[in-house]
Structure formats: C-alpha cells, structure tokens
C-alpha cells in the first residue's frame, strides 16, 4: 500500500476524472462524494440516519443530522407504509 500522500493524490485524480466523465462542473473531493453518496444513495434507499452516520465514521450524530436533508419523497413513502400497516394489518404496528 502506498503512502497516505500517494493514496490521497490518486483519490483526487479519480474524483477529477469522474467529475469530467459525469460532466460535473464543480470540483469533487472525498467530502463531497461521501456526503452525496450518503444522501442520494443511502438515505433515499431507506437507510436509517443512524446507520449513515456510523458508516461515515462520524463521532457526533448531530453532524449527520445537519448535513442530511429530510426528503419529501422519503416522508411520503414512509407515510404510505404506515398507512398500509394501519389499514391492512394492524398486528404489524409497533406502539411503544
């Protein structure tokens, strides 16, 4: 395995190459790509925000909350699931 500087340099080159291929005008770096992945892939696919925070190795959960936007689509999907549980199978509802 290479030195940390070499690895970082290779990562930066890869981000620039990907940005060019995807025709992204904004410069990419590890922080932008990991936060974008977390929001657009993990959260939009029903990962719990706690899992996302852990995957990003965040020490403070509030940091993830700050960056994560609650997506209208996700809220709508969650409400549909709850509605389905209520009206079709009330046995599957967990009430604390």
CA distances (Å), origin 73, targets 45, 46, 67, 70, 80: 11, 11, 17, 9, 11
DSSP labels for 57-77? Answer: T-S-HHHHHHHPPPPHHHHHH
User: Where do the domains of the chain lie?
Assistant: 4-69
pTM: 0.52
Per-residue pLDDT of the chain (96 residues; tens, 9 = 90+): 566 567 667 767 776 777 777 777 777 777 777 887 887 788 878 788 888 888 888 888 787 777 676 667 777 888 888 888 888 765 656 655
Residue 52, exposed/middle/buried by CB under 10 A (0-12, 13-18, 19+)? buried
């Amino acid at each position: 395995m290479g030195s940390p500087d070499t690895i970082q340099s290779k990562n930066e080159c890869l981000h620039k190459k990907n940005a060019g291929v995807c025709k992204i005008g904004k410069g990419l770096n590890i922080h932008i790509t990991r936060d974008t992945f977390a929001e657009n892939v993990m959260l939009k696919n029903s990962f719990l925000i706690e899992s996302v925070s852990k995957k990003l190795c965040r020490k403070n959960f509030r940091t993830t909350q700050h960056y994560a936007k609650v997506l209208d689509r996700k809220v709508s999907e969650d409400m549909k699931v709850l509605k389905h549980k209520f009206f079709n199978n009330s046995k599957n509802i967990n009430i604390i």
